[in-house]
Structure 1
Amino acid sequence: MISANLIATLMAATQTAPVVPVATPNDYALEQNWLCRPDRRDACSTPSLDVTEVAPDGMRTVRAVARATAPEADCFYVYPTLSYDPGGNSDMIANEEERRVVEAQFARFGTVCRTFAPIYRQSTLSWLRSNMTGKPIPVDMELRYTDVRDAWRRYLAADNQGRPFVLVGHSQGSGLLKRLVAEEIEGKPVARQMLSAMLAGTNVAVTKGKDQGGDLKVTPVCRKAGQTNCVIAWTSFRETSPPEANSRFGRVPDATQDAICANPAALGGGMASANARFPAGAGIGDLVATSPRWTKDNAPFTTPTVAVPGLYSAQCVSVNGANVLSVRINADPADPRIDDVGGDVRFGAFVAKDWGLHLIDVSLVMQDMVDLVPVQLAAWKARGGK
């Protein structure tokens, strides 16, 4: 991850980066090119979804969580920037970082969806670092999108069969899905099947004062749980550290437009408790590599996921010209439970405040996202699949 004061440098570097040769398109008919597909053992189907709830008094309750046996909806996921591959674009071999982020951000959708997650040749962390050192390595920025698009087209042709679907993404993945909606879904018959596009950690522009226009011409913002064919987008900041004037998130360059904020925990607005789900060990969000101390006794957990009921609340706010998800931490330093799970982008001791809580955009509202799917599905069915 990078801080906003380096964005201009990175943008300039991409214009002068070495040209890469044209890549061969992936064949998404091959099982090996997917992290997740239905009816097989993979990154979505094998991890346990059980969760340990840690109450404010430190009491632990283990909740068993089962995957759906015959889900009526599909979920299609594009993961964020995380590859440590040495090139500007990642290869097509799933490493630990890809599997880890699927477990943290997407596997839980298996309780309500058939799960689809393609591997794609994303721009890598190695590429970002090369730009920051002034020695850019070759990268094909368009290849990221064409991979996702080709996987989507294969899914529609071979798997969809008229089923309703949800798009799920974070950061780089959300940006690619935003373009996919604009180019492959809006204005086409398949748009009637889209329950929602959940685009965490990216800016989605709408016409100022309206709920559509901008990046997506006709797809509106979701403003109630039963609304479908709409977009849910948010970027997260601490209530105590709102976005500053140089923030990368929550604002768009066009003065006639605003960035969307739609809170999965309360689409209608207002402050609501966020039903967060965090990895119990290393791997909070998508990049953090330290294990948190969940209780003062630091006792180990038997489940891969932890919930901290009541610790976080969130609401969409407009502050300093940005529309963001403002996150309140309801901590009690006197109780035995963790007071702050983190999620900031850090460079050593330096906190990149302009990125907010980017690393846990999804984890903060993980269960809220999942819980929206059956509500939207029921509304879609009640309208005759429209």
Structure 2
Amino acid sequence: MKKLFLALGLCAAPALAQPAPPAPAAAARAAIDYSDAATWLCLPGRQDACGRALPTADLTPAGYGPVTQSTPAADPPIDCFYVYPTVSRDPGLNSDMSPGVEEQGTAAVQLARFASVCKTYAPVYRQVTLGAIPRALAGENVTANFIMAYADVANAWRYYLEHYNHGRPFVLIGHSQGTIHLTQLLAREIENGPAAARMLSALLIGYAVEVPEGRLVGGSLQRTPLCSRAGQTGCVITYMSFRADAPPPAGSLMGRAPRPGMTAACVNPAALSGGSAPLDSYWYAAASQFGGPTITWSTAGAPPAPFLHARGLISGECRHDGQAGWLAITVNADPADARTDQIPGDVYLGASRQAGWGLHLGDVPYAQGDLIRAVEAQRDAMLRRRR
């Protein structure tokens, strides 16, 4: 599992604006057949990256709690459709369709815990690779590569909707590049169609979803508002994490809306109506700063399980400054207790911390418990309306 998280630690969003809508010819070229189960990273009922138990121990001020198992629900009434972030180390600008430890590890950490509340669907797609990032930063045009990646996601969605969904409520979950594709999918194929009525929420994390300053809707999405209260359905939870004392710097890739008049939307999953709140975090215990300091999780010794559950170790609050919008993360450090006063999540190149990426690698773990609870409240609200 350590290898899986090391692969996950390399995930990143491409340094690009969102690509233009795919041309029909490009979208149809070499289309993936999503009727083949091998083209899905996660499907319900399989022993795949999302179908295994997750051994988890509480990380408490006194040390570690007992190890428990998070397991998939037997027959949950809702679905989760997930698109993973940029993790592929495949050569070239687009990945192949053979998922490696990078994709599997990412799904295990970001999606598998949601299997306790939803059936998990995660297509393999020809994503823009890690190797494309420096080439894009050097000026190479990778729009066609994004077109291919988005076309795969859209085709997988259409297959899921026709063959797997059966009219069930669903949640969209994406991080980084996954958020780019799902934001486009929501704008083009969902928010103006009949499926919108079944959408519990879209968890669009780790990349900018634009809204006009001071508004809950508009910008990236014309009809789908930001979530602002518990149990609200058909809405978006989105944020990009930065340390509270290190907000997005000028020109940063993360934490900013590209267009003037817009801001990067931020919804605190632990306080949908706003304000600061302690976060319910799930950490992979092998996590480190990947170039920064090693994390000693507790003075009580080594973690007794691969995953750690920490309530209130950190707090989050949405902040805005013009085009910048971010979830400000504060570590509630207490030198007198056993818990770590350091958290992973920064992006490093060698030993150099990349301030413009913020805490990108921790976006999902920081508030995973809060995200799951928000989905549970949305599920309950929609099912009550259906009775």
Q: What is the TM-score of this pair, normalised by structure 2?
A: 0.88
Q: Provide the C-alpha distance between the structure 2 equivalents of 1:91 and 1:3, rounded to a whole number of angstroms.
A: 18
Partner of 2:345: 343
Question: 2-side partners of 1:35 and 1:231: how far apart?
Answer: 24
Are 1:100 and 1:283, in contact at CA under 8 Å, matched by a contact in 2? Answer: no
Number of the residue aligned with 1:210: 215
SS in structure 1 of the partner of residue 35 of structure 2: coil
Q: Following TM superposition, by how much is the alpha carbon of 1:58 offset from its aligned partner in structure 2, in angstroms?
A: 1.8
Match of 1:312 in 2: 314
Q: Cα gap change, 1:243/1:115 in structure 2, threshold over 3 Å: closer, same or farther?
A: same
SS at match of 2:51: coil
Change (3 A) 1:129 1:32: same
Given the superposition, is the C-alpha separation of residues 334 and 136 from structure 1 closer, same or farther in structure 2, using an over 3 Å criterion?
Answer: farther
Residues in 2 aligned to 1:110 and 1:283: alpha-carbon distance in whole angstroms: 26
Matches within 5 A, 1:224-303: 224-282=229-287, 292-296=295-299, 298-301=301-304, 303=305
In structure 2, what is the Cα distance between the partners aligned to 1:173 and 1:33? Answer: 16
Correspondent of 2:86 among 81, 87, 98 = 81
Q: Find the aligned partners of 2:140 and 2:383 in 1 and give their Cα distance.
A: 53
Tell me which residue corresponds to 1:165: 170
Q: Deviations over 1:131-186 (max 9, x none)?
A: 45778899622011000000000000001111000000000000100000001101
Segments of structure 1 that go 5 or more residues without pairing to the other structure are 12-19
Render the CA deviation track for 1:20-78: whole Å, top value 9, x for unaligned: 998411000000000101122211102x2231111112243323333211100000000
311-320 vs 96-105, which moves further: 311-320
Inter-CA distance 209–309: structure 2 relative to 1 (3 Å threshold): closer
| 2:38 equivalent to 1:32 | yes
Query: Contact 1:87 / 1:124 at 8 angstroms: preserved in 2?
Result: yes
Q: Which residue identity does 1:342 align to in structure 2? A: P
Q: Identify the match of residue 144 of structure 1 among 130, 133, 149.
A: 149
| 2:280 counterpart SS class | coil
Residue 5 of structure 2 is matched in structure 1 by: none
Change (3 A) 1:242 1:33: same
Partner residue of 1:17?
A: none
Residue 22 to residue 186, structure 1, CA distance change in 2 (3 Å) = closer
Identity of aligned residues (%): 43
- What TM-score do the two structures reach when normalised by structure 1? 0.89
Q: Secondary structure at the match of 1:101?
A: helix
> Which residue pairs with 2:193 in the alignment?
188
Could you say which residue in structure 2 is the equivalent of 1:45? 51
CA offset digits 1:234-279 (Å, max 9, x no partner): 0001011111222223332332322210011111111111111011
Quick one: distance in 1 between partners of 2:84 and 2:288? 14
Q: Secondary structure at the match of 1:362?
A: helix
| Cα distance in 2 between the residues matched to 1:176 and 1:186 | 14
SS at match of 2:328: strand
Amino acid at match of 2:106: V
Output the CA distance in 2 between the equivalents of 1:3 and 1:152. Answer: 23
Q: Distance in 1 between matches of 2:28 and 2:162?
A: 25
RMSD (Å), alpha carbons: 2.7
Contact 1:243–1:319 (CA<8 Å) still a contact in 2?
no
